Amino acid sequence: GLGEDTVPDGFPFSPPFDPPMEPEKRLAAGEEIKAKGNALFKEGKLDAAVLKYDKCLRYVDAYPPLDGDAARAGRLACHLNSGICHLKEGRQKQCVAACGRALEIDAGSVKGLFRKGCAHRQ
């Protein structure tokens, strides 16, 4: 497993429901959490990065799921980024799953197709 998300980012595990977090604030929080994941990726902390990408998705996908171009782009990036983390860690099955979710958002995603193909080849 990936363990626990121990890198602070200033946000709870998932967005509050009572009262619910405003959609714009959820999107902004998701972007900030994703940026933290990107920083962890650059530091080579791949498991910690995946946990941030998963957390970003919890914010974007919480009921009601956010829509619009920014939410779609954030979802796509999180799945693609998780895919490359899993690939680099030798977790081909998880890479294929993450890239599959990315391809559900954008069937023509070159990164998604390439990373999924790389995972199948390993």
**What whole-number distance in Å separates Cα of residue 105 and Cα of residue 72?**
7
The pLDDT of residue 56: 98
DSSP letter, residue 122: -
Pair of tokens at residue 43? 């530091």
Domains defined for the chain, CATH in brackets:
23-121 (1.25.40.10)
Q: Is 88 helix (H, G, I), strand (E, B) or coil?
A: helix
| Confidence (pLDDT) at 4 | 87
| pLDDT tens digits for range 3-51 | 888 899 999 999 998 899 999 999 999 999 999 999 999 999 999 999 9
User: What secondary structure letter does DSSP report for 58?
Assistant: H
Please, are residues 2 and 47 in contact by the beta-carbon 8 Å criterion? yes
| Average pLDDT over all residues of the chain | 96
As a whole number of angstroms, the distance between CA 61 and CA 8 comes to 21
> How far is Cα 43 from Cα 104, in angstroms, rounded to an integer?
29
Compute CA distances 98 → 6, 29, 81, whole Å. Answer: 22, 21, 9
- Which residues, at least 6 apart from 106, have a Cβ–Cβ distance to it below 8 Å? 76, 112
